[in-house]
């Protein structure tokens, strides 16, 4: 199977099999109304009384009950094992942005695979966890957050940049995952970044709307 499964003019909520609350799903769908489940994420969606527009994956974790409850036209089985279910979903969704739930806080190997994937993708993908949101830094990024807000940068490869509005400026720093990283910086004013290389931005969960607005400009 190849090609797009879901094309949307609106944002898409992507739900995985990790920990998700009703509040998480409600918050995400208020901003990204279309719902796609990554394999066993279908069970999560049904548990909250939500029917996914599409279920995509190799189907090694979706329950027989969920498969029976979801119309066959919405089930997209992709048997190949060279990509994760998260990757399978992203490659088959075309949307302005994706809010991804249930991919943080579970198995470390799964979480690292997800972080690796978003670090390679300039698409507007925001991972939502219990305390944080995570997304790849675009080349140019500007956001207004409360003074003192946590603003962490984590390089997924050699990275560098310039900043305004951070307590500890990042100019002339060579970042690398096995070298200098930028966690626990703080907002000191309106933030402006210029970033070269694969850098993740990690912000408090309360910054979701501000980040979403900033990424769409």
The continuous run of DSSP H or E covering 49 comes out as none
Q: Do 77 and 38 share a structural domain?
A: yes
What is the per-residue pLDDT for 122? 72
Residue 98 and residue 137: Cα distance in Å, rounded?
A: 15
Residue 14 and residue 31: Cα distance in Å, rounded?
A: 12
| Domains contained in the chain, number | 2
Inside any domain, residue 135: no
What is the per-residue pLDDT for 216? 87
Range of the domain at 116: 6-130
First-residue to last-residue Cα distance in the chain: 34
Query: If the chain, 217 residues long, is cut into consecutive pieces of 10 residues, what is the mean pLDDT of each piece?
Result: 82 95 95 97 96 96 96 93 91 95 88 92 88 96 97 97 97 94 96 97 97 91
Domain of 73, CATH number, reads 3.40.50.10240
What is the per-residue pLDDT for 88? 94
Inside any domain, residue 200: yes
- Give ∠ CA 214-122-177 in degrees, rounded to 5: 100
> Going by C-beta distance under 8 Å and a sequence separation of 6 or more, which residues neighbour residue 3?
92
User: Which of 109, 130, 151 lies at the terminal end of a domain, its last residue?
Assistant: 130
User: Which of 130, 155, 180 lies at the terminal end of a domain, its last residue?
Assistant: 130
What is the per-residue pLDDT for 1? 42
CB atoms within 10 A of CB 9: 8
Inside any domain, residue 144: yes
């Amino acid at each position: 199977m190849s090609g797009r499964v879901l094309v949307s003019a609106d944002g898409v909520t992507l739900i995985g099999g990790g920990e998700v609350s009703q509040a998480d799903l409600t918050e995400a769908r208020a901003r990204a109304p279309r719902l796609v489940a990554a394999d066993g994420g279908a069970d999560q969606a049904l548990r909250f009384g939500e029917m996914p527009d599409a279920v995509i994956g190799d189907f090694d974790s979706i329950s027989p009950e969920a498969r029976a409850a979801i119309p066959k036209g919405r089930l997209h089985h992709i048997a190949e094992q060279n990509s994760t279910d998260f990757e399978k979903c992203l490659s088959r969704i075309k949307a302005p942005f994706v809010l991804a739930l249930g991919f943080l806080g579970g198995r470390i190997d799964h979480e690292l695979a997800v972080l690796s994937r978003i670090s390679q993708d300039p698409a507007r993908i925001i991972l939502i966890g219990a305390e944080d949101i995570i997304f790849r830094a675009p080349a140019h990024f500007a956001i207004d957050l409360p003074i003192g807000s946590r603003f962490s940068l984590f390089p997924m490869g050699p990275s560098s940049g310039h900043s305004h509005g951070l307590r500890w400026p990042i100019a002339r720093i060579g970042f690398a995952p096995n070298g200098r990283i930028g966690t626990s910086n703080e907002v000191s004013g309106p933030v402006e970044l210029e970033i070269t290389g694969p850098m993740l931005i990690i912000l408090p969960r309360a910054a979701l709307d501000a980040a979403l607005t900033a990424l769409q400009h």
